[in-house]
A and B are shown apart, each in its own frame.
With several copies, the nearest count.
Chain A
Amino acid sequence: MEEAVDMTETAENSRIPDHGEAMRIAEALLFASAEPLGAEELAGRLPEGADVEKILEDLTGLYAPRGVNLVRVAGKWAFRTASDLSFVLARDVVEQRKLSRAAMETLAIIAYHQPVTRAEIEEIRGVATSKGTLDLLLETSWIRLRGRRKVPGRPVTYGTTPQFLEHFGLDAIEDLPGLEELKGAGFLEGRVPSDLSVPVPSDDDALRPDEDPLDHDDLFQPLEMDQSGTGEE
């Protein structure tokens, strides 16, 4: 409780009879104000002859070690939560969200066809894939950027992550059912086109011969422009 002593003692200038009282008034004004207050504004509300600069200086010092600080914002003064405590003003809420059908399909294609580029995903799905869908999947941390395909434009290749396996309860990516199993389990019904093939997926970290490593700044910059502009989701 050392701070308590500091707080009750109003700085060195407590010799001036009104200084302590003026500080209290300034405190209350700053606390109650919806906007930061300028020094002149404060001066207008403080007792005659109060030394605004000194009051603000003393208050700043007084509150510096506390959970709330007196700070200067845009040339004016306001109380703000101490910056190191901003975490207490945030609350984490876990929100269960369901993936959209488009995201689910994109994820499935990435899982089976990895490493796969966005253009390839679009080719398989037959519709444009919006940037948002890929961003969202990246956010789930189920997919990752693997590298860049050695073709003109060097598109990014996507693959799944260990979190993907964990979430879907798979021991290895090869455990994803193949064509026959999908058929047997009733996922493929009716007339299965003869040209339908299901690849054996691989999420090996090692890049394929047709992949380049990611560029240094791929993780900090927009990866691809959203060339379609007419994402279907």
Chain B
Amino acid sequence: MAKPLPFEEAAPAERAESEPALFVDVDGFEGPLDLLLELARRQKVDLHRISILALAEQYLVFIEEARRMRLELAADYLVMAAWLAYLKSRLLLPEPPKGEEPSAEELATALALRLRRLEAIREAAKKLGERTWLGRDIFARGAPEPVVIRKDARYEASLYDLLKAYAHQRQIKLNSKVSLHKRTVWSLVDAREALERLVGHLSDWVTLDTYLVEYMVEPAMRPTVLASALSATLEMVREGKLTVRQDEAFAPVWVKPVADAAEAGA
């Protein structure tokens, strides 16, 4: 809403009993056009034959009244008042010789047309509202029986996979007696790439651990993954790309992309 208008008189406004026809309650209106429409209805004539001049006068009286009562008026109402005051003066003055501007008559007609259009859409809105609403007047099945999706799993495996698995298994089993497992390490570069990729999709705090689970192919890799990811995270924090948080010792580590960094990329 617009700021209260400056008033010169400090005296409290009183509702004049002598003006019963006009109730000043701007809250009930959906803007100046709505107010004009209501005033037009009081002319009790067809909107096609409405006197825009009379309407403009009534509107200005209304606004005056509202100001006198120190009602807060939105800027829209005041703009309309100014425009109507202008229109009124044009309508009262003799029409100047054909200028570039539209004539006062044309302006009045355009306003009448706008009022009729608002009235028409309002009528349509009313009809729409009076239709049977789903969930109010008519109802769908209360206990729908959803379609059960039976998943028929079809397993895929090639002979190549089969032989590879067999050969690998047999060889590993026998070799394991003599050789050590090769230590797999998750490199810092891998961790950084993964984090940057993942963090790109996020806007809120996420625990580091949830990221990492995806990479936990083998339990043995857990320490290296954790260590590399944490150091990568810290580096990204240093670069201002991430915020990191840990609520207490041994609690999950939360990360969140820095908003500016994300927006800059958008």
Q: Which residues from chain A sit less than 8 Å from chain B, CB to CB?
A: 28, 31-35, 78-83, 86, 89-99, 101-102, 104-105, 107-109, 111-112, 124-128, 139-140, 142, 166-170, 176-179, 181-182, 185, 187-189, 191-193, 195-196, 198, 217, 221, 230, 232-233
Chain B residues contacting A91 (CB-CB under 8 Å) are 147-150
Interface size on B, residues (CB 8 A): 69
Q: Which one of A89, A108, A196 lies within 8 Å of B125 (CB-CB)?
A: A108
Contact status B156-A125, CB under 8 Å: no
Contact status B32-A93, CB under 8 Å: no
Q: How long is the Cα–Cα vector from A5 to B157 in the complex, in angstroms?
A: 34
Q: Does B34 contact A (CB under 8 A)?
A: yes
Contact status A80-B169, CB under 8 Å: no
Contact status A169-B139, CB under 8 Å: no
Query: What would 12 A/B residue contacts be, using CB atoms closer than 8 Å?
Result: A28-B139, A32-B139, A32-B145, A89-B146, A107-B157, A125-B33, A126-B118, A169-B132, A169-B133, A170-B131, A182-B166, A193-B171
Q: Does B161 contact A (CB under 8 A)?
A: yes
Q: How long is the Cα–Cα vector from A191 to B174 in the complex, in angstroms?
A: 10
Q: How long is the Cα–Cα vector from A83 to B170 in the complex, in angstroms?
A: 52
- In residues 146-170 of chain B, which contact A (Cβ within 8 Å)? 146-159, 161-170
Q: How long is the Cα–Cα vector from A83 to B135 in the complex, in angstroms?
A: 11
Q: Does B120 contact A (CB under 8 A)?
A: yes
Q: Which one of A99, A111, A181, A192 lies within 8 Å of B171 (CB-CB)?
A: A192
Chain B residues contacting A182 (CB-CB under 8 Å) are 120-121, 124, 163, 166-167
Contact status A181-B134, CB under 8 Å: no
Contact status B159-A170, CB under 8 Å: yes
Chain B residues contacting A185 (CB-CB under 8 Å) are 116-117, 120, 163
